[in-house]
Amino acid sequence: GAPLVLIDPGHGGIDPGASTSGGETEKAVVLALGLALKERLEKSGRLRVAMTRTEDVFISLADRVRIAREQGAALMVSLHADTLAYEPGVRGASVYTLSEKASDDISARLADAENRADLLAGVDVRDEDGQVGDILFDLTKRETRAFSHHLARNLVETLGKSTSMHKNPLRSAGFRVLKAPDVPSVLIEVGYLSSESDARLMQSLEWRSGMAEALAAAVEKYIDENATRMGNSAPKP
């Protein structure tokens, strides 16, 4: 069948994520964007689409990873829109992949902040990096990481055409939500609620549909470029 894209709107329920002084929350911004992306991907009818949440509910980071693996997702896209109190005035989108060593301090602090989501709900946050030392498992992880990078590069390229990007848009850190060993996963900061201009932009329908279009284009390009691996019978050039 068609490859499955898993859209993962960050936060939810008792975890609002970032918020503006005006009371706009990250969990609402990314859910609206996730639903718009789902609609856009389904319109072209080439991919199957699932979401980790379609309403305002809390889902642990481990459960998001579990959903990706159980559903056999071809890829997972986590959507976020944080505030960076320590980087005021910064704006633009960034795309993150998993790495044990963060690409920079800001990314490390962002991952720490995101990884605290589970503490809010009292979820056990011990690391479940099992199967250490298993060669096949390590190979799978390495391959998954390469595919995640490929997807991230497509996203940076496509998003850069229609939205402002962070000065270093391709970054990495130890995000727990990106730890599925066999599902290529990226986390996108679509903008920062701490930036007044970003926050204003993210309320608009034009922004949301433009962003959904750009995300969908990058995902479809990635799927096309990896059609063989997906077991997809789509003809290749």
Stretch binding Zn ion (CB under 5 A), from 11-19, 65-73, 93-101, 131-139: 11-19
| Least distance to Zn ion, CB of residue 149, Å | 21
Residue 10 sits in the site that holds Zn ion (CB under 5 A): yes
Stretch binding Zn ion (CB under 5 A), from 9-17, 45-53, 153-161, 199-207: 9-17
Tell me the site size for Zn ion, rule CB under 5 A.
4
Q: 68 to 97, contacts with Zn ion by CB under 5 A?
A: 80, 82
**DSSP E strands: which ranges in the chain?**
4-9, 48-51, 75-80, 93-98, 165-173, 185-189
Structure tokens at 209: 């549909």
Burial class (CB in 10 A: 0-12, 13-18, 19+), 67: buried
Residue 12 sits in the site that holds Zn ion (CB under 5 A): no
Distance of CA 48 to the CA centre of its chain: 17
| Least distance to Zn ion, CB of residue 182, Å | 24
Residue 181 sits in the site that holds Zn ion (CB under 5 A): no
The contact pattern for Zn ion, residues 15-44, with x = CB under 5 A and - = no contact, is --x---------------------------
- The span from the CA of 176 to the CA of 118, in Å, is 10
- The span from the CA of 165 to the CA of 169, in Å, is 6
